[in-house]
Structure 1
Amino acid sequence: MDIDQFLRMRHGAATTKSLYTAGFSRRELANAVTSSRIARLHRGVYVSKDADPGVVAAFRANGKLTCVSAARFYQLWTLHDAEDLHLSCGTGLARRRVVHHGECRHPAHPYLPVAGVADVLLHAMRCLPELEALVMVQSAVSQALLTTKFLGEKMTGNRNGQLRAILNLVLPRADSLLEVLAHRHFTAAGLKVEMHAEVPGVGEVDCLIEDCLIVELDGGTHFEAKQVKKDHYRNNAGLRSGLMSLHYYYADVVYHPERMVDEVLTVLRNREAGRYGPFRYIASQPPS
């Protein structure tokens, strides 16, 4: 492996120590710089031409990426891309378009200037709106990177009550960001919601609301012909059991949750009012 390949594996940046540890000599480093294959960012750090801008900025600031800026390094779900860089810096000096966070108290990323997942989540919970922090925490818990108990033990005292409330919203199981958001929106509306409910004749559904309404949250695979056909048959099976079904997509859950919840409430009100029945089925009689 040459220096270029090594740097590509590390998002285009590495410390001198890690390069030496990997077996590269002082002469190899000097030759790579002289030939413009890599550049010396500052003392102790080398970068490639296509280095990750966030990683470079963190090295330049002598800090660590954290909060939403670090989410991608742990494959954490996020609702929005960060417009500003979120950093934990030893100096704490103000920088343009940088959100400064407190110091890191847990083991950091093994080779990148990125805070450890524990600090990333603690910073996110103190910085981001509830839903944005929730999806990051849920993603970490679902990957078994840490537990809500661990985070809760880091947030004792009355002033952390709102942060601990976020942990209470984490689901035992969530297969997608949409499930986390939908559950939060439906329960906030006062609805009884069972996630991953087993419905006889139908199978597992994403949400069962008030024991009578199935809500499915459809991702990209649901546009495939086989899946569409399967979904239609599942809808038919649900109706045979007396359960209605609604389907929502990414844009509905993320960008129009109020409209989604209002539609669910409207269907439930219509059902309560008997607008979907009763009716009499009169079989056709054969001619006499």
Structure 2
Amino acid sequence: MYINQIHNKKFNLILYLPIPLVFLGLIVLNYITTADVNVEEMIQMMINELGTNLTFAIMVGQLAICCVILLFWVKFIHGQSIRSLTTSRKKVDWKRIFFSFTIWGVFTMVTTLIFYFLSPESFVVNFDPVKFFPFLIIALLLIPLQTSFEEYFFRGYLMQGIGVVTKSRLFPLIITSVTFGLMHIANPEVGKLGMIIMVYYIGTGFFLGIITLMDEGLELALGFHAANNLIGALLVTADWTAFQTHSILKDVSEPSAGFDVLFPVLVIFPILLFIFGRKYKWTNWKEKLTGKVYEYSPEIENINSIGNDNE
């Protein structure tokens, strides 16, 4: 099992705690310090002083650096392989990553085009080659590291660690999904749309946690998250979002939150679960999502590796 990957290493709770305590502490500190601040205006001030691309690079680059630090900590402090933090398979399945990236990237592009043609007055063409292509390079370099950090931290490091401590698969699913959502609470989208947007953030956390547990690895979550942030940042920006970019389109409509916030969680994500489940032949959902985490043994690893290589 994926969570059991940490069992065949020398798991040390003292060495495990600094990373989550520091990062989650920074989330709380950031929320407290920005509680009385207009985050949208703060981002705009940074853009006025530093420019859009540099502001974007600073904001995303922080988590990209965190990704490097986390992987270093896992590899050299814990002595755990990056492969075992990524998957229960004998090697990382890049086909899974690319399939997940492609299916969500295509969905994002198609829905964006549909919204553009249905409501052209809500968008302006923002494409400027001189500004777009430098941004494209920055995005390609930093966004995959940013999204990989969030997956490695929440669905990897926390999922495995909490699972080992609690001997449960359900507890780490709930805890990592809720904390993932709360990480976004200081985003300007929350101030603009209200707390209902947290349903989307936490719901996305549950979706990513479910596909990680069912697929016994991070590959699908890594691909989905990278497509969501990268394709989204390249296609559309708005003055009230966390990502201010030199994208192709700019949304100039007045934002509002309603069923469109709930639609992905209630409709799209279940459809994706069905697609992934059929393609990778997922079975025994209840046990994989709510069952116990047993002590590691080579026999368990061999049994659970059977079927994990389904294409």
| TM-score scaled by length of structure 1 | 0.23
**Greater helix fraction, Structure 1 or Structure 2:** 2
Larger Rg: 1
**Greater strand fraction, Structure 1 or Structure 2:** 1
